[in-house]
Chain A
């Protein structure tokens, strides 16, 4: 059994909470005491139906105001897979939350109300999921019961969305007509839509192939921690020196010739250690410890790769940045802390090229700053070289966060598009 992480985007109006509630309920991930608490609160508020959004809206302020503020993580499992849902609010003022939820997602579900069709917010959700390179996208056309389960209506929405998505580079796009309220095509195929020949949503989630979404080609091992036991009594351990980290790309094997950055020196992997014994290969997302053949000075923040396949060692970086700070703005001359893989440096914003309108994709080149939830292309200069790949090639070596030195807050997320 493996894990699928998926993000859901949409508002209560689209039936998102109903859909999640149904997936959780049908997979027995909602328990009686949780359901009772929700039913009690729904009754107290005078709601006629059981408001399943109360299950996911966990904070007092959210329940009081009836809104979703933050990303909520939910868990359920079927015999085939474990699922982690990043449930994100859909409104534009929560763009940063959606970006956060999408950053680790293998798949995103965008909900569309069949009566309303493709709205501005559907386009925004699609844009953000492709910007974050979520490998699989599902357009769940919901409330099919309210359009008489019409195939023509479904096809109309499919065509409209497909033509928009072709501008986005959306990789794997699947359309599923559903009714979250009645359960059509959620867990099992609907008898109300015999014209639909695809899988139910859950069947799709259980079977979508994600193992090859990881980069298994470019060896990238950011050194996270150096393990040196300093054991005086055990001679073998006394000289032990292992480089611990989580594989970010490629497949590493004992005997492989590897290159260390920043030194540029080559050496050989002598062993790949884990607590449970040595392993014959390591790939993402494994956390392992490498032992190397030569005595090279290696520390946290360094990168192990292959001599003929190296990341760019760059101090000039172009990236799409989503700004996440309230108050503080990103503008040319801003100085920030940048954290990329296991390396932390300082960064200077050299240029803000444009702000992207997340609804229309229009580029506004006249802007002088990015505010909360705004996305734009920026050029950064860093105090030390970072070992980077384009985000499109590897999400782990192409993504970074920006931290404000004054407040220590995480103020931005970046996706590298070019580096020198």
Chain B
């Protein structure tokens, strides 16, 4: 018999694991959904979902929590991708939560709808009776996430209790919940930022244009470059200027910073990330800078 080396490449191992996780959810839950923001992680997650159930369509809807402060390029991309797949998209609107008096808009220069998203998300999960919600979070993003399970239990208030997590062994996931509770599922837990980019390159996946270097009117705040847009409140002491930038993460315009970059292809982005010495959230997310435990605190409340 021919001797053969059954080595599997890292992207194949990660993809096989993510597919296994998605099928497990589809088999064991009544009403799953997949959070799709048009950001690179959720784009990769969507591609894995396409693969997991092929040649059948993806057996669950997509959901986007729309702050109303998103980049137009990303919303256009989202709608095009949804149409291509013939998928059902649920849009949960932060504006609607504000109008309904569920949350109050923050005021002042640093006003952001980032934190308000949690209420909108939890209301939508309850309304739609979702029992499993796929998220694109990765453990390498942030240290509170480094300790989160792949199947992360949420109580009836949507809360995460980091000190009381279910042990997770082998590839066996505990999917048992009671009514009103749900599980957040993170199929990309073991992927790094570079894995995501290598996968995008390998698969030839399309991504929104704002990930590539482009010219944009920006201003500087706390060492970050924020877009000079209507929804972002720029002070008189924060002059706007034109710069060639790209986004490393895609979130709400009010708290997502751009980085100076000339990378116009996925290859150039990979080279840039391989050489960088700052994490993606450290470089571009004002929401994580509030304190050492900012992410942990938001996650406990039910954030993504």
Query: Which A residues lie at the B interface, using CB under 8 A?
Result: 1-3, 28, 31-34, 37, 41, 55-61, 63, 69-75, 77, 81-82, 84, 96-97, 99-100, 103-104, 211-212, 214, 216, 224-225, 227-231, 237, 240, 242, 244-246, 251, 273-276, 283, 285-287, 289, 300, 324, 337, 339-342, 395-396, 399-401, 403, 408-410, 413
Contacts and interface: CB of A to CB of B under 8 A. Distances in A.
A230 B57 CA distance: 10
B26 A211 contact: no
A103 B292 contact: no
Given A3-B10, A408-B177, A413 B169 contact: yes
A99 B169 contact: yes
Given A31-B278, A58-B146, 6 more contacts: A34-B282, A59-B163, A96-B167, A100-B169, A228-B56, A274-B51
Interface in B7-47: 7-10, 12-17, 19-20, 23-24, 26-27
Is chain A's binding surface mostly helix, strand, loop or mixed? mixed
Interface string B166-188: 11111110101110000000000
Q: Which of A71, A237, A395 has the most CB of B within 10 A?
A: A71
Contacts, number: 189
A285 B17 contact: yes
Contacts of B292: 37, 41, 60, 63
Contact of A224 (B24, B50, B139): B24
Contact of B8 (A2, A33, A399): A2
A285 B177 CA distance: 28
B254 interface: no
B13 A224 contact: no
A73 B190 contact: yes
Contacts of B52: 244, 287
B283 interface: yes
A58 B170 contact: no
10 closest A-B pairs by CB: A58-B143, A33-B282, A275-B51, A287-B19, A408-B176, A103-B169, A229-B56, A287-B16, A275-B54, A225-B23
A283 B55 contact: no
Main secondary structure, interface of B, reads loop
26 contacts: A31-B276, A31-B279, A33-B282, A56-B143, A57-B143, A58-B142, A59-B163, A73-B189, A100-B168, A100-B169, A211-B6, A225-B26, A244-B53, A246-B19, A273-B54, A285-B17, A285-B20, A286-B8, A286-B16, A287-B15, A341-B172, A401-B170, A403-B176, A410-B168, A410-B174, A413-B169
B20 A224 contact: yes
B201 to A, nearest CB: 14
Contact of A413 (B26, B139, B167): B167
Interface in B131-175: 139-140, 142-147, 162-163, 165-172, 174
Given A2-B10, A403-B174, A77 B278 contact: no
Looking at chain B, what size class is its interface with the partner chain? 35 or more
B147 A58 contact: yes
B252 interface: no
Contact of A395 (B54, B56, B170, B276): B170
Contact of B278 (A33, A81, A96, A251): A33
A265 B148 CA distance: 42
A246 B52 CA distance: 11
A75 B190 contact: yes
Nearest to B57: A229
A408 B178 contact: yes
B6 A214 contact: yes
A417 to B, nearest CB: 16
A56 B146 contact: yes
Contacts of A240: 55-56
B140 A75 contact: yes
B277 interface: yes
A228 B55 CA distance: 8
A84 B167 contact: no
Nearest to B153: A408
Contacts of B265: none
Interface in B197-212: none
B293 interface: yes
B5 interface: yes
A258 to B, nearest CB: 19
Contacts of B15: 287
Contacts of B268: none
B296 interface: yes
Chain B CB within 10 Å — which of A229, A246, A287, A289 has the most?
A287
B192 interface: yes
Contacts of B282: 31, 33-34
B2 to A, nearest CB: 12
Nearest to A74: B146
A1 B8 CA distance: 8
A180 to B, nearest CB: 20
Contacts of B96: none
Contact of B277 (A31, A41, A59, A413): A31
A13 to B, nearest CB: 22
B296 A75 contact: no
Contact of B27 (A37, A69, A225, A274): A225
A415 to B, nearest CB: 10
B98 interface: no
A283 B7 CA distance: 10
B169 A401 contact: yes
